[in-house]
């Protein structure tokens, strides 16, 4: 038994945005195991997942599956799968059976099986990952990892609001890249905080040329696709490069860690929607309305092909658009979506909101 304790398991989690660094921190610092970081997602990841997926599943399933395969190729022995409030809740089971059919050998911890609302069941999931977990140590590392998530979200928020106005080309990106590197190598809370502080201060010092007429666009949409730059073809950067101040409320901090709750948000959108329509619907409708009330120049709604919850809120978003006279661009991503097509639509949207701003000013 003693010897077992010393054998570190090689654990991986599907790639999503830049949150894998926080998962890595928890696995290594809290559970004392080895984290396998698969390569950043590429077209190969998508192709691997697409080849083995049923046609009608939504695109995040395909990227998650491809990313799991790349984790197994990188040496992972244990795969962790997230839970979800839509069919994502069933995807864990489906992904496991596809991978086993392909002959992959691995242990599997599917969080959907442990999501009962009882904290003791989450502990069971953690024990499935690491049977000899020391709860106090794991809790401490979890709190630090969640703080890292909040810092990643805050830094990305600041980055996309300002990088489109930098006067020294590449200066914001350089600071952001340093920050990601610091999160990737952080071993203590001090390292995390130092990395965050360095980046925050660097952003503050960097010169920008932004006036009060800068175009402001708010992004809303499906959880995975709107947050993950690979999945949305780097939409935020493309907008920022056009000189737009980009806002995105949807992130793990806002939607999961500090979420104000369905009931509270429902009160704010009751003129538009009476019932809950999906995992991110209430928040997206509320945020679309808020962007409109705050005088944003446009809203972009992002979703994966086949995402039923986000398809259902489109008429509501259109109503908000009509009531507040705010332009909305709807973007749907599937495995064939290419940058050229996206840029054509973005440039047309940009020209339209820029002209509109000149006319109404
Ligand atoms: S929210 Fe939509 S795209 Fe995301 S997993 Fe659920 S159905 Fe699929």
- Give the DSSP letter string of 280-319: THHHHHHHHHHHHHTT-SEEEEEEETT-HHHHHTHHHHHH
> What is the spatial distance between Cα 241 and Cα 297, in angstroms, rounded to a whole number?
16
**pLDDT value at 119 more than 90:** no
Residue 24 CA to ligand 1 center (angstroms) comes to 24
pLDDT tens-place string over residues 231-289: 999 999 999 999 999 999 999 999 999 998 888 899 999 999 988 888 899 999 999 99
Strand partners, 215: 244
**pLDDT value at 180 more than 80:** yes
**pLDDT value at 109 more than 70:** yes
The share of the chain scoring above pLDDT 90, in percent, equals 84
225: left (phi over 0), alpha (psi -120 to 50) or beta: alpha
Span 92-119, average pLDDT: 92
**Domain 211-361 classified CATH 3.40.50.11900?**
yes
**CATH number given to 10-133:** 3.40.50
The answer, yes or no, to whether any atom of ligand 1 lies below 6 A from the CB of 162, is: no
Q: How many other β-carbons are positioned within 10 Å of the β-carbon of residue 133?
A: 18
* Least confidently predicted of 203-207, 337-341, 349-353: 337-341
pLDDT of residue 7: 82
Whose CA is closest to 71, among 47, 112, 106?
A: 106
Under a CB-based contact definition with an 8 Å cutoff, are residues 119 and 150 in contact? no
**pLDDT value at 1 more than 50:** no
The answer, yes or no, to whether any atom of ligand 1 lies below 6 A from the CB of 224, is: yes
Give the number of the atom of ligand 1 that is nearest the alpha carbon of residue 279: 1
Could you tell which of 90, 309, 311, 331 is best to mutate to test the pocket of ligand 1, judged by most ligand atoms within 8 Å of the CB?
Answer: 309
- Ligand 1, atom 3: closest residue by C-alpha: 307
Q: Where are the alpha helices (DSSP H) in the chain?
A: 2-6, 20-25, 43-52, 59-73, 88-101, 119-129, 135-162, 171-185, 189-205, 223-227, 235-241, 252, 262-268, 281-293, 308-312, 314-324, 339-360
Taking all residues of the chain, what is their mean pLDDT, rounded to a whole number? Answer: 94
Whose CA is closest to 145, among 253, 258, 6, 304?
A: 253
- Ligand 1, atom 7: closest residue by C-alpha: 307
Q: How many other β-carbons are positioned within 10 Å of the β-carbon of residue 197?
A: 12
Under a CB-based contact definition with an 8 Å cutoff, are residues 11 and 129 in contact? yes
> What is the spatial distance between Cα 279 and Cα 271, in angstroms, rounded to a whole number?
20
Residue 135 CA to ligand 1 center (angstroms) comes to 32
Distances (CA, A) of 181 to 18, 152, 163, 184, 294: 11, 12, 19, 5, 35
3-class state of residue 258 by DSSP:
coil
- Ligand 1, atom 6: closest residue by C-alpha: 86
């Amino acid at each position: 038994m003693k010897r077992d304790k010393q054998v570190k398991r090689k654990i991986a989690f599907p790639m999503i945005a830049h949150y894998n660094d926080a998962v890595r921190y928890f696995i290594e610092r809290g559970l004392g195991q080895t984290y396998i970081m698969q390569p950043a997602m590429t077209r190969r990841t998508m192709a691997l997942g697409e080849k083995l997926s049923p046609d009608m599943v939504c695109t995040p399933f395909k990227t998650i599956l491809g990313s799991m395969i790349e984790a197994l190729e990188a040496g992972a022995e244990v795969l962790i799968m997230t839970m979800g409030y839509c069919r994502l809740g069933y995807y864990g089971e489906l992904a496991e059976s596809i991978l086993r059919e392909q002959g992959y050998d691995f242990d599997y911890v599917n969080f959907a099986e442990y999501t009962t609302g009882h904290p003791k069941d989450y502990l069971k999931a953690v024990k499935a990952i690491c049977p000899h977990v020391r709860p106090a140590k794991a809790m401490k590392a979890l709190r630090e990892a969640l703080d890292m998530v909040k810092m990643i979200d805050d830094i990305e928020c600041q980055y996309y609001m300002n990088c489109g106005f930098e006067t020294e080309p590449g200066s914001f990106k350089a600071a952001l890249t340093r920050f990601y590197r610091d999160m990737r190598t952080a071993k203590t809370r001090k390292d995390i905080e130092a990395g965050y502080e360095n980046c925050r201060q660097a952003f503050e010092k960097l010169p920008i040329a932004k006036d009060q007429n800068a175009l402001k666009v708010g992004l809303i949409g499906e959880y995975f696709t709107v947050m993950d730059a690979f999945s949305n073809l780097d939409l935020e950067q493309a907008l920022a490069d056009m000189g737009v101040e980009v806002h995105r409320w949807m992130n793990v901090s806002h939607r999961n860690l500090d979420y104000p709750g369905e009931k509270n948000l429902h009160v704010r959108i009751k003129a538009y929607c009476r019932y809950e329509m999906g995992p991110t619907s209430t928040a997206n409708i509320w945020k679309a309305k808020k962007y409109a009330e705050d005088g944003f120049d446009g809203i972009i709604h992002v979703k994966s092909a086949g995402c039923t919850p986000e398809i259902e809120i489109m008429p509501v978003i259109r109503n908000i658009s009509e009531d507040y006279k705010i332009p909305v661009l709807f973007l749907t991503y599937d495995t064939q979506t290419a940058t050229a097509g996206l840029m054509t639509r973005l440039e047309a949207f940009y020209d339209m909101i820029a002209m509109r701003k000149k006319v109404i000013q």
